[in-house]
Amino acid sequence: MATLPPTLSSRKRDWIPYAKIALWIALLAPAFILLDRILLLGQFSGGNFVDDPVELIQHWTGNTALILLLLGLAVTPMRRLLGWNWMIRFRRLFGLFAFFYATMHVVSWFVFDHQLALGPIFKDVLERNWILVGMMSWLLLIPLAVTSTVGWIRRLGGKKWNRLHQLVYPIAILGVLHFLWQTKLLERDPVLYTVALVILLAVRRWIRRK
């Protein structure tokens, strides 16, 4: 019995698994680079001697989490404007790795700044606005990470699942505010993230109106 030739759409989907593997490697790369800079003193990544590894861990993981959140928000505008429908297949990975690095960021603060002492942790959260919004952003990420599977989409139903995952907008806003309020002066990185977020939200609103 002769086999039918693959359709054009199936041929297009053939590269998706390989692209996902490449994306996994790319998204894990910041963690390996951080590990190299702390333990191997930049032997592979070309980094210099680390004077304050705790500061490096917190800054590196927080920055990476924000970048991945913004990349996840950029998927829909790029898909709608450029017709790249295949990008939706990668959005979940951006979100999960954003949660992974955000969790590393929060856990490093729990461990290194407060030695897991709940009293000082709660006091810091209540007294410092930038810590409060950062903690809120991370807590809101948890239900999104838990319900990211196909099984949860079926349990909740498409509408409820989509409504829940609209939390990504306040999460990104709170994350950028956390970075902005943490810096005493307007530094380059938090300003760039703020501008990128405003542009992404404006484009998404324009697409929705269209």
- Specify the pLDDT at position 53: 84
Q: How far apart are CA 38 and CA 78, in angstroms?
A: 36
Q: Report the 10 Å Cβ neighbour count for 209.
A: 6
Digit-coded pLDDT (tens) for 90-108: 899 999 999 999 999 999 9
- Specify the pLDDT at position 8: 45
Chain-centre distance for alpha carbon 173: 12
48-62, 135-149, 180-194, 195-209: which is most confident: 135-149
Asked whether the beta carbons of 116 and 107 are under 8 A apart, the reply is no
pLDDT at 44 over 70: no
Band (3; pLDDT cuts 50, 70, 90): very low
Element containing residue 141 per DSSP (H, E)? helix 129-146
Residue 172 structure tokens: 């990104």
pTM: 0.86
Rg (CA), the chain: 20
Residue 53 structure tokens: 């590894």
Task: State percent of the chain over pLDDT 70.
Answer: 87
Q: How far apart are CA 92 and CA 89, in angstroms?
A: 7
Q: How far apart are CA 106 and CA 134, in angstroms?
A: 9
More confident residue, 148 or 47: 148
Band (22; pLDDT cuts 50, 70, 90): very high
Asked whether the beta carbons of 24 and 100 are under 8 A apart, the reply is no
CA atoms within 13 Å, Cβ hemisphere of 130: 11
More confident residue, 56 or 209: 56
Every domain of the chain and the residues it spans: 15-209
Residue 142 phi, psi (nearest 5): -60, -50
- Specify the pLDDT at position 43: 56
Digit-coded pLDDT (tens) for 62-90: 999 999 999 999 998 888 888 778 888 88
- Specify the pLDDT at position 77: 86
pLDDT at 50 over 70: no
Asked whether the beta carbons of 147 and 156 are under 8 A apart, the reply is yes
DSSP 4-36: PPPPHHHHHHTTHHHHHHHHHHHHHHHHHHHHH
